[in-house]
Amino acid sequence: MSEPCLKSLPQVLSGPILRHTRVNRLVLWMVGSCSLTLRMRLYLPGSAEPWFDRVLTDRDVTRLRFGTSAYLHLIDLELDDSLPENTRIGYDLGMSDELGHDSDNADELWIKDWAPHLCLPGASWPDFVIKERLDRLAHGSCRRPHSAAADGLIRVDQSLLDAQYAVEKRPALLLMTGDQIYADDVAGPMLRAIHSLIDRLGLYEEALTESCVSDSKTLRQNPDTYFHREKLLPDVSSNQALTKRFFGGAKKPVFTTANAHNHLISLNEVMAMYLLVWSPVCWRLVTIKPPVLSAKDAATYQGQQAAIDDFVAGLPRASRALAHLPTYMIFDDHDVTDDWNLSALWETTTYEHPFSRRIVGNALIAYLLCQGWGNDPDAFADAMPSIQALTASAEQGAYFDQARQDTLVDSLLRFEHWHYTLQTSPKIVVLDTRTRRWRSELNAARPSGLLNWEALSDLQQDIIGEKAVIVVSPAPMFGVKLIEAIQSAFTFVGKPLIVDAENWMAHRGAANVLLNIFGHSRTPETFVILSGDVHYSFVNDVRLRHRPDRPRIWQITSSGIKNEFPHSLMEWMDRMNRWLYAPRSPLNWFTKRRRMRVTPRMPEGRSAGERLWNNAGIGIVELNEEGEPTAIKQLNSSSGGTRFLKAESDH
């Protein structure tokens, strides 16, 4: 029996987002303003009668209440009969009348009634396709709401419109490879909307330990809460030795992002942001009237408002794309905070402080609930009782039990199953390059390897014996040599934080093991590596110098969905990279990957030999039956795009 929803609130606040999708299992994510009783219908082509029609039970839906009027629903439906492959399958979710009554006489409301923006033109419900073979993939990372660039998810929606009924033209799935939110870089109007939504939905509060604000409610009322949160974030003055080593003696926040002025802190802030980056519905519930600000901050707020307005205007189409394509996600640093787990020293500095530990933990809880859970619900079965106990602890007093929250954070910081594999054809292996790091044994301040030896061994076991594999690595495995050299130079002088010195070649042990995996006799013949992170797009063909026929490796990077590298700086770095690392340059032999021949593909339409494409958008990769890329494209978020053409000469 569902609870009555408040008449002033829509029943569904966000979603559904289509997540893990196989022939006998459907996973969807959505948030309601009350606990919803849902009826699922599935439709096969050419039939007006549902192929499947059932009221979902507690076995099919897990509900988590995280506010007075906020309930997360994870639909995990196991089917007795297999769905057909390579076929458009319609799905619909029915609910009772607007007050939440579910009597037999109540009129049921369906997606076209409560979320018509999720339906393609002429359709009464969303649909999806389960492909027997991965023939076309969409992928991208770095969706920053207040970037001046348009939203690449709108271009994903356009690809669905262009495909119409042609199943073969529709992407088999969408891979979001990191930074789905920017918890550490939030616009003033976005933070204002977050706070308004917290109040409107009654999102649960929390106490904050060793902070200058006592709890999350006081945080929202603090005069420094807008544009000056660096004053509220924890410093490390209590640990002078680490302060001196990590920050050169300067008193700085633990959080090293240059844009920490509106860094999210509380769990309700992060949860509210997820609702606002995925749902146009929630924006109708909030006010973004500016708070009282200084003249300088008010000017910044107004300057960000236009970008946020454009972002909100595109959300109906972005959410429609997420409702139609099976969508898989993995975190990168901005889903938590910039430089997250950069080095052993960063970890020690951050996690020894209760306040900074809580901030990171809150972002991880929200990631689990809003991203990770839908990738692989089974992986989080052991964690869910603790999360359910935490949310239940707030239902009476509106504040989370502090001890339960700290215990949950501790367990998630030890959790080692954020990574996952998809038994598709070819297999997809999604790497967690953030929490299983290879820490430097010589200098705790040096950047950690992106995977430790055990995690790299797990990767090898996942792919060994496969003919072809798709590996999702948020950071490129084979990046731009000049940028990696600059990062190495700053690391050498003890300043890795200045340039985000995080790449696969930054740690000798991790780099050597990774390159040995590619040279193993039983490694797959075909590797497609999908990455993001860097805010520009590029493609490298990679081969072993001593064995150029096997394996065949493609490094395909698409970034960002809504973010771009500074254009003038990008042009300079692209040009310098071509000069310094030309095919015959001796500098190539000083890189850790000198055993590999790396050949950049040229983006079509560039005039001066550029190799990097600096436009927000989405990547599209078309694969043949052997899992080899036959076409690699970058669709610009506004219009147009490029194809990456095979180079005539090696690099």
pLDDT of res. 567: 77
Over range 170-184, report the average pLDDT: 97
Over range 53-71, report the average pLDDT: 96
Reduced to 3 states (helix: H, G, I; strand: E, B; else coil), residue 299 is helix
The secondary element (H helix, E strand) that includes residue 542 is strand 538-544
User: How much of the chain exceeds pLDDT 70, in percent?
Assistant: 86
Q: At what angle do helices 402-414 and 354-367 cross, to 10 degrees?
A: 70
Q: Residue 512: which pLDDT band, with cuts at 50, 70 and 90?
A: confident
Most confident of 173-177, 285-289, 485-489, 581-585: 173-177
pLDDT of res. 485: 55
- Phi and psi at 535, nearest 5°, equal 70, 25
Q: Residue 387: which pLDDT band, with cuts at 50, 70 and 90?
A: very high
pLDDT of res. 525: 92
pLDDT of res. 213: 92
Distance of CA 533 to CAs 73, 109, 333, Å?
Answer: 30, 40, 9
pLDDT tops 80 at residue 258: no
Report how far residue 464's alpha carbon sits from residue 110's, in angstroms, rounded to the nearest whole number. 46
**384 against 502, higher pLDDT:** 384
pLDDT of res. 495: 43
pLDDT of res. 596: 73
pLDDT of res. 597: 82
**In the predicted model, what is the mean pLDDT of the chain?**
87
pLDDT of res. 204: 97
Q: Residue 207: which pLDDT band, with cuts at 50, 70 and 90?
A: very high
Report how far residue 564's alpha carbon sits from residue 613's, in angstroms, rounded to the nearest whole number. 10
pLDDT tops 70 at residue 259: no
pLDDT tops 90 at residue 630: yes
pLDDT of res. 494: 44
Over range 592-614, report the average pLDDT: 80
- Phi and psi at 6, nearest 5°, equal -65, 135
pLDDT tops 80 at residue 335: yes
pLDDT of res. 650: 42
Most confident of 55-69, 544-558, 581-595: 55-69
pLDDT of res. 254: 54
pLDDT tens per residue across span 460-483 = 999 998 999 999 999 999 876 666
pLDDT tops 90 at residue 617: yes
Report whether the peptide linkage leading into residue 548 is cis, meaning its omega lies within 30 degrees of zero: no
Find, among 413, 352, 333, the residue nearest to 144 by Cα: 333
pLDDT tens per residue across span 27-37 = 999 999 999 99
pLDDT tops 80 at residue 251: no
Q: Residue 442: which pLDDT band, with cuts at 50, 70 and 90?
A: confident
pLDDT tens per residue across span 1-48 = 455 667 789 999 999 999 999 999 999 999 999 999 999 999 999 888
Structure-token pair, residue 141: 């990372």
Over range 159-184, report the average pLDDT: 95
pLDDT tops 60 at residue 402: yes
User: How much of the chain exceeds pLDDT 90, in percent?
Assistant: 70
Report how far residue 49's alpha carbon sits from residue 151's, in angstroms, rounded to the nearest whole number. 36
pLDDT tops 50 at residue 491: no
Structure-token pair, residue 516: 């040995």
| Alpha-carbon torsion angle 26, 280, 288, 363, nearest 10 | 20
Ranking 87-91, 318-322, 398-402, 585-589 by mean pLDDT, the lowest is 585-589
pLDDT of res. 46: 84
Ranking 192-206, 237-251, 629-643 by mean pLDDT, the lowest is 237-251
pLDDT tops 90 at residue 593: no
β-bridge partners, 109: 95
pLDDT tops 60 at residue 363: yes
CA 437 remoteness from chain centre: 19
CA geometry: angle 260, 434, 231, nearest 5 deg: 15
pLDDT tops 50 at residue 103: no
Q: Residue 255: which pLDDT band, with cuts at 50, 70 and 90?
A: low
- Phi and psi at 424, nearest 5°, equal -95, 180
pLDDT of res. 514: 87
Who's near 602: CB < 8 A, 6+ residues apart? 609, 610, 611, 644, 645, 647
Question: Considering the entire predicted model, what is its pTM?
Answer: 0.92
Decide: 597 and 548 in contact? Cβ < 8 Å: yes
**589 against 217, higher pLDDT:** 217
- Residue identified by tokens 């082509």 is 45
pLDDT tens per residue across span 132-161 = 999 999 999 999 999 999 999 999 999 999
Report whether the peptide linkage leading into residue 314 is cis, meaning its omega lies within 30 degrees of zero: no
pLDDT of res. 71: 97
pLDDT tens per residue across span 427-439 = 999 999 999 999 9
